[in-house]
Amino acid sequence: MTQEENAIIEFEHASKVYSGRGKKQTRAVDDVSLTIREGDIYGIIGYSGAGKSTLVRMINALEKPTSGTVTVMGQQVSSMSESKLRPVRQKIGMIFQSFNLFSTKTVAQNVAYPLQLDHWRKDYQDKRVKELLEFVGLAEHANKYPAQLSGGQKQRVGIARALATNPKILLADEATSALDPETTTEVLDLLKKINEQLGVTIVLITHQMNVVQQIAHHVAVMSAGRIVEQGTVYRIFAAPREDVTKRFIATAISGLPDEARVAKMHEDWPGRLVTVIVRQHDITDPVTNTRINASGQNISELISKHQIDSNLVFGGIDTVQGVAIGAITYSFDGADGEVDDFLDELARNSDIVDFGTAKNPVDYNEAVEHAGIASPVELTEEDGAARDEQAEQVEQVDDVVTMTPREVGVDGTENTEEK
């Protein structure tokens, strides 16, 4: 396989099989092919046991694939000896959920540790540690010990230490899982700063979709050792294909009301309950050569055109990579036939779910199935240029809908306390 342009990490049909008692085998990673480009923030998400941590440990060759290859910075690390791996690992930093700090060392000493292993001169060590602690906002805590720090501060120490030798790649394995939401946001902002100001490629391993939503550019979803879906974060959020992906999305973003919510809304609102899916842009998938159209962009215009009475009763809008996405449920009322005409025209350019009225409700599952949300259409040759451009970037714009509802060791090995 020829290395893709700007690729900094490439998996080609990589698998990892562990042998157990007897002939029992566990396939932790199963035939994974994945490319991560230089300068990206790439999220790898999956439930516990999906294989994501094993996958990331292949990047710095702490795990070697049973079959397939792993190429990092142009070198096939999956076949390199330990002695040849050392200079490669110096360019890969790693941060951990449990921080992996030496409790008997100060903050400054923890950050200096990889520099000592790399035999930096003491004055250079001191200068580098000072720079890093200022960068992560811990300059005033240099002489404190880990026990004197909060969880967020400990993780900042871990990040500073991971940056000590000027890595090109930063691996973050569940780095925010032990933190509260506010501190998580602060740490993610720091990682984004590292990516933007230092140009470091970041690989996020997580089971939290909101972490991916906040800072990642691309994401791969893992299940049972395989990558079941991958693409830009906006594409995955706006039009997830796999059930496991849909479950993750549901934890991070506003979506359809559930069946119980619809039943309650029918009790409160006599009009036609309709959920309008909001996707601010078309989504193209170069792998399947399909496009999923934008949705919910002309609803205000059509409400005015058809003189429909509308009440916004449920929903919300989030942003992914600066682009609006979500779902809004309305109660529509109008003259005989006018609501039908309005919905017919709305459905030409938007995904809608029609739950009917309180007097004539539509079965929930039937309504959702009939809606065919995010159904792809085949691209024509004329769509090619637009598809290629959109695959590389997503326009950064503000939300278009304003709504007011009523109601370890530095190289990844385990740290041990100095005796």
For residue 362, the 8-state DSSP code is: P
Number of structural domains (the chain) is 2
Kindly state whether residue 402 falls inside one of the protein's structural domains: no
- Residue in the block written with tokens 């032990």: 178
Kindly report the CATH number assigned to the domain that includes residue 287: 3.30.70.260
Kindly state whether residue 408 falls inside one of the protein's structural domains: no
Q: Same domain, yes or no, for 88 and 180?
A: yes
Kindly state whether residue 411 falls inside one of the protein's structural domains: no
**Spatial contact of 199 and 253, defined as CB atoms under 8 Å apart:** no
Q: How far apart are CA 406 and CA 281, in angstroms?
A: 28
Q: Same domain, yes or no, for 199 and 90?
A: yes
Kindly state whether residue 293 falls inside one of the protein's structural domains: yes
Q: Same domain, yes or no, for 74 and 215?
A: yes
Q: Same domain, yes or no, for 339 and 388?
A: yes
Distances (CA, A) of 182 to 146, 153, 234: 20, 13, 23
Among 284, 221, 288, residue whose Cα is nearest residue 249: 221
Its domain, for residue 170, covers 7-250
Kindly state whether residue 401 falls inside one of the protein's structural domains: no
- Beta-strand runs (E) in 197-308: 201-206, 218-223, 226-232, 272-279, 283-285, 290-292
Which of 223, 250, 277 is where one domain is finished?
A: 250
Q: Same domain, yes or no, for 198 and 304?
A: no
Kindly state whether residue 59 falls inside one of the protein's structural domains: yes
Q: Same domain, yes or no, for 157 and 246?
A: yes
Among 76, 80, 73, 59, residue whose Cα is nearest residue 16: 59
Profile the chain (419 residues) by mean pLDDT over runs of 10 residues: 76 92 86 96 93 93 95 94 91 90 96 94 95 96 96 94 95 89 92 96 92 93 94 86 82 77 94 92 73 87 94 88 87 90 93 93 87 57 44 30 34 43
Q: Same domain, yes or no, for 221 and 316?
A: no
Kindly report the CATH number assigned to the domain that includes residue 88: 3.40.50.300
Predicted local confidence at residue 390, as pLDDT: 38
Sorted by sequence, the CB contacts under 8 Å of residue 99 that are 6+ apart come out as 146, 151, 154, 155, 157, 158
Among 286, 254, 252, 290, residue whose Cα is nearest residue 374: 290
Letter string b/e over residues 25-43, b meaning 16 or more CB atoms within 10 A of that residue's CB: eeebbbebebbbbeebbbb
Q: Which residues pair with 76 in a beta bridge?
A: 71
Kindly state whether residue 111 falls inside one of the protein's structural domains: yes
Q: Same domain, yes or no, for 27 and 154?
A: yes
Helix (H) or strand (E) holding 45: strand 41-45
**Spatial contact of 400 and 291, defined as CB atoms under 8 Å apart:** no
**Spatial contact of 284 and 390, defined as CB atoms under 8 Å apart:** yes
Predicted local confidence at residue 312, as pLDDT: 94
Kindly state whether residue 361 falls inside one of the protein's structural domains: yes
Predicted local confidence at residue 391, as pLDDT: 34
Q: How far apart are CA 170 and CA 156, in angstroms?
A: 13
Q: What is the pTM of this model?
A: 0.78
Q: Same domain, yes or no, for 69 and 86?
A: yes
Q: Same domain, yes or no, for 224 and 267?
A: no
Q: Same domain, yes or no, for 161 and 269?
A: no
Q: Same domain, yes or no, for 76 and 177?
A: yes
